[in-house]
Amino acid sequence: MLDQDSNNITYSFCKNNEKEVEEFVGIENYATFKTKGFKGEYKTLYKDFIVKEIDTNGKILSLKENRTNSSFSNELNDRYTTFNLTKINRDTFEVVRKLSKALNVPYNSISYSGLKDKQAISVQKISIRGNYIKELKTLKIRDIFVRNIYPSRKPVKLGSHLGNHFTITIRNLENINNLR
């Protein structure tokens, strides 16, 4: 059960139902001391690690989805431009610096809810103080993609997402007979 009260989100689960909790947080399988291991290479290539933020509604952000709401409204008190940022093999700080320079805005007017791995493909919510919908639609920076641009009343803040969804590729597996 989800109880959303102002800025707090509370989840309730059936008593003693570990399986329900594990599924909710994304644990599908796990190893125990009885489990035989396997060997492989992790994060060999940046595309071996994909990180997608999970928004406060539980939706996993898409790498490619692209909807744009171009109407910035003073009546609705829109003060920020919010969007999904997909970055490839880039550090979050580096990307924010590049956005700041390309849009000619102060670095601290750009906000995000968390840092993402550099050696990865990742998508996360970003917001910029002001109306930058037009500029973001035409922005071209190598390995940085802007999607789902829309106006908002509030900025993205540190921790303003439920978590991250990971897709991990393990290469050159050995002992694969131990996998189920």
pLDDT digits (tens, 9 = 90+) for 75-116: 777 899 999 999 999 999 999 999 999 999 999 999 999 899
Tens digit of each residue's pLDDT (9 = 90 or more) over 128-157? 999 999 999 999 999 999 999 999 999 999
pLDDT band with cut points at 50, 70 and 90 for residue 173: confident
pTM above 0.75, yes or no: yes
With beta carbons less than 8 A apart as the criterion, state whether 30 and 37 touch: no
40-178 belongs to which CATH class? alpha beta
Instruction: Indicate which residues carry an active-site annotation.
Output: 117
Quickly list DSSP for 70-84.
Answer: ----TTTT--EEEEE
Structure tokens at 104: 């000619």
